[in-house]
Amino acid sequence: MNGTKNAILFPKQMIAKTVVADDSGVAMNICYIGDEVSATITVATGDITFKQGALGSEAVDPSIDSGGNDEGVIDVSDSNANTMGDVVDLINASPNWRAFLVGALRADASAGTYLNISERTLTPRVDTTVVSDSTGIKAYSIRIGGKSDSAGTEEISAAELFNITSKNTFGSGTNFINVYEINEATKTETLIFTRTGGATTAEQVLDFVVNGRGSLASSKVGTHLLVRMVGSAFCTGYLQVSGAVAKGF
């Protein structure tokens, strides 16, 4: 892979990720950290129901509630739950659950961002993925870097980006490649790179490695990078990135 000699930190892990139009992206991860034996989540048209208790007899968890009369439910039609930032903040406010964004920005609308999930039993303290709904979305996103909180323990990392390959069939309109540096601790998302993407149906390759060295960006320790292909119309095609993650600090 390109960039194997371009060490920013050691040890580091080389990363290659692809998102295509068949719901292969991840919007966020959710983890149960409570004391009950079992926990479940159900997603229906964006609304998330959280339960915990004995295996097979889980009951709604009232520590999560976006308002109204539906304890244990984040209802994305509520004003305090209509963005992805709202959703993860509500989850993380509970002592029993943790969540972090993977392929979403805090300002992204929560409605229509992720797929339905039939009631899923979670393994305590193990992340479960909530997959992005690629039907009618205008952005594909890939995260490069670790998370700042994993089941209640901090995991420090930094990220480096070498290559972005994309192809977007968007008809008329605009197409951009954006890169953000994400700081989950401060809840800040900084646009550090933007460039016009390829023409509709045309593959674009942005390669930042020359003679084994160089990169587009290196995130600060404790932050990560998010690469996003954004169209003015619905995206179809693919986004692929290569980079590296350094951990253990």
| Percent above pLDDT 70 for the chain | 83
- pTM for the predicted model, two decimal places: 0.85
The better pLDDT of the pair 173, 53 is held by 53
Whether pLDDT at 23 is above 50: yes
pLDDT number for residue 164: 94
Whether pLDDT at 152 is above 60: no
The secondary structure of the chain, three-state, reads: CCCCCCCCCCCEEEEEEEEECCCCCEEEEEEECCCCCEEEEEEECCEEEEEEECCCCCEECCCCCCCCCCCCEECCCCCCCCEHHHHHHHHHCCCCEEEEECCCCCCCECCCCECCEEEEEECCCCCEEEEECCCCCCEEEEEECCCCCECCECCCEEEEEEEEEEEECCCCCCEEEEEEEEECCCCEEEEEEEEECCCCCCEEEEECCECCECCCEECCCCCEEEEEEEECCCCCEEEEEEEEEEECC
pLDDT digits (tens, 9 = 90+) for 195-239: 999 999 999 999 876 555 656 767 777 788 999 999 888 888 899
Mean pLDDT value of segment 143-164: 71
Domains and their CATH numbers in the chain = 1-22+137-249 (2.60.120), 26-133 (no CATH)
pLDDT number for residue 155: 61
pLDDT number for residue 219: 77
